[in-house]
Amino acid sequence: MGLANDRKGAHASEANGGADGGPLRMLVWDGMPAAEALAVVAERVGVALDCEPIATNEQLEARLLAGERFDLITPSDFMIERLAGRGLLTPLDPSLLPGRDALAPWVRRPPWDPQERWAVPLAFGTTGYLYDRDRLPGAGGWRALLAPPAGVTVGLLDEPREVIGAALLAVGERFEATGAAALARARELLLAQAAAGAYARRDSGDFVTPVRDGSVAAHHAWGGAAAAAVRAEPRRLAYAVPQEGVVVWVTTVAIAAGCARPGLAHAAIAALLDPQVARLNVERAGHATPNAAAQALLPPQLRDDPVLFPPAAVLERRLTVRDLDADAAARIDALWAELVAAVG
Q: What is the pLDDT of residues 16-48, one digit of tens each?
A: 444 457 899 999 998 889 999 999 999 999 999
The mean of the pLDDT values for the chain is 91
Report the C-alpha gap between 72 and 182 in whole angstroms.
38
pLDDT at 325: 87
71 closest CA partner among 274, 281, 266: 266
Q: Mark residue 26 as left, alpha or beta (left: phi above 0; alpha: psi -120 to 50; beta: remaining).
A: beta
56 closest CA partner among 221, 204, 222, 248: 204
Report the C-alpha gap between 344 and 86 in whole angstroms.
33
Who has greater pLDDT, 159 or 183? 183
Domains 2-124+250-311 and 125-247+320-343 equal at CATH topology level: yes
For the segment 141-162, what is each residue's pLDDT rounded down to a tens digit? 999 999 999 999 999 998 899 9
The C-alpha angle 147, 150, 151, rounded to 5 degrees, equals 115
CA distances from 97 to 36, 117, 256, 266 (A): 21, 11, 17, 7
CATH number for the domain formed by residue range(s) 2-124+250-311: 3.40.190.10
pLDDT at 20: 53
For the chain, percent of residues with pLDDT exceeding 90? 80
pTM check: above 0.95 = no
Per the CB < 8 A criterion, the answer to whether 198 and 148 are in contact is yes
pLDDT at 183: 97
For the segment 238-253, what is each residue's pLDDT rounded down to a tens digit? 999 999 988 999 999 9
pLDDT at 18: 45
Per the CB < 8 A criterion, the answer to whether 250 and 106 are in contact is no
Q: What is the mean pLDDT of residues 164-175?
A: 96
Q: How far apart are the first and last CA of the chain?
A: 60
Phi, psi of 55 (to 5 degrees): -115, -15
Sign of CA dihedral 68, 72, 74, 78: positive
Radius of gyration, alpha carbons of the chain: 21
For the segment 267-303, what is each residue's pLDDT rounded down to a tens digit? 999 999 999 999 999 999 889 999 999 999 999 999 9
What's the CA dihedral at 106, 284, 43, 49 to 10 degrees?
80
CATH number for the domain formed by residue range(s) 125-247+320-343: 3.40.190.10
Query: Which residues have C-beta within 8 Å of that of residue 49, sequence separation ≥ 6?
Result: 23, 24, 26, 38, 41, 42, 268
Report the C-alpha gap between 90 and 168 in whole angstroms.
35
Domain ranges of the chain: 2-124+250-311, 125-247+320-343
Q: What is the mean pLDDT of residues 77-102?
A: 95
